[in-house]
Amino acid sequence: MTKLLKVINGLAVILVPVILVLVAVRILLSPLFIQVEYRLPGFPPDSYGFTLEDRMYWGNISRVYLLNREGIEYLADQQLDANTPLYNQRELQHMLDVKVVVRGAMWALGIAVLLEVGIWYLNQRSKNVQGYRQAVSTGGWLTTLLIVSVLVYLAFNFNSLFTNFHRIFFEGDSWLFQYSDTLIRLFPLPFWRDAFIWIAVISLAGGIGLGYFFGKPRRS
């Protein structure tokens, strides 16, 4: 049983960064991020005419679509005006692809959390609480190391990171658009740069917190 617990707690270590990063992603899918991001000093204005209010309205509709159970018609039915749809067919296909990725990520988060709770329960039943705490602490420090590495890379190679991310999760050049397309007007490159930074910062804070507090011996 001791050897089995070590293997199981090894899984607990790996699950910690997965959970922290996906929780950070879910936080950024809340209305707050869009509200703050569009108001940041220096955020590039839309040279094709979207106002701040336009961006917040249409950006939020796009955010809601990624989390709801509606089909792509939810976005296809949206109109900028009587003759202009919110997104063209290429953009709609990409939003559908993004929704698949987001849904998969949220399923992965739920499964990871359930596994982590199950591992905690097994350790509780086996009176190995300190062993589990050490696993979570190790996972926290592992997260810290990974995120610091990503932040260093991000500081010098964001465009490369952004490109490689899309190449992993999307096919071909389906994620490339014109500057005049709605997706780029609503979500320019600085939006995604800041999103990556905030995901990293939230994950880093969680990793340091878990690493420090779970690494401390529990008082009897």
Measure the CA–CA gap between 155 and 136, rounded to whole angstroms.
Answer: 28
Identity at 60, one-letter amino acid code? N
* Region for residue 207 given its phi and psi (left: phi exceeds 0; alpha: psi -120 to 50; beta: otherwise): alpha
Residue with tokens 């932040």: 151
Compute φ and ψ for 81, nearest 5 degrees. Answer: -155, -175
The chain-wide mean pLDDT, for the chain, equals 92
- Alpha carbon of residue 192 to chain centroid: 11
Of the pLDDT bands very low, low, confident and very high (cuts 50, 70, 90), residue 220 is low
Separation in Å, CA 66 to CA 92, 103, 105? 12, 8, 11
pTM, to two decimals: 0.90
**Residue 1 pLDDT:** 56
Q: How many other CB atoms sit within 10 Å of the CB of residue 6?
A: 12
Of the pLDDT bands very low, low, confident and very high (cuts 50, 70, 90), residue 28 is very high
Token digits of residue 169 = 């999760």
CB 99 within 8 A of CB 65: yes
